[in-house]
Structure 1
Amino acid sequence: MPADDSPAVDSLDDDHYPAYTMGRAAAVLDTTPAFLRSVGEAGLITPLRSEGGHRRYSRHQLRLAARARELVDQGTPIEAACRIITLEDQLEEALRLNEEMRRREAGDAPEEGS
């Protein structure tokens, strides 16, 4: 049995590890392989390719594809859904960085009256 710090265990915890085949990813999302190909073509996700050329997806990519599926099911065209998700991710990252900077500045700011 591998130790807890082995690469196999690390990859299980890695949200970006491409653990899902296209068929398994489609089943998990209750969608079709064609839908996964279409979100890839729209630039939302880029699956890793196995040595045999098969697409492999990570949990992070599956979450993005699931969000795209929600938007498409609500009537949003796939290209627009992918753009919305990309913008949502960019906004989330900008907000996270902004909060990080605020915390850093608050910790570095001298106390008043010193």
Structure 2
Amino acid sequence: MSLLLQHDHHHHDHHSHHLENDGFTSISFESDKPFSIRKFQHFLDNQLPSNVFRAKGILWFNESEKRHIFHLSGKRFSLEDEEWKGTPKNQLVFIGQNLDTDKLYQQVDNCLSLPTTSKGEEFG
């Protein structure tokens, strides 16, 4: 696998310029707030633009104590979970062609879990 990474790195500059000319872009998203599983699932099922070809990242969900490794290729995606090694946060990269950066960023931002004000408070 390291040979493949070295191979990709070796040709990165050449392909990067070519891909930009064809309208390919990557969009990075980071947040120190967790996603809502329901909102993120809705985004994947109903809002993910067809011109996003690949995505990957580390996902943090409000409903889970695990760290989730996310891979998307076309319309298929996988999630693997493991223990956190450090401070939880979301890190996500989308790769596609002619992406509407502002719209995609806003859609992903809308997947963040709303802070709950009643957490830890007692009623009565």
Which has the larger share of helix?
1
TM-score, normalised to structure 2, is: 0.27
Larger radius of gyration: 1
TM-score between both structures, scaled by the size of structure 1 = 0.29
Compare relative contact order (CA 8 Å, sep 6+) and give the higher one, 1 or 2.
Answer: 2
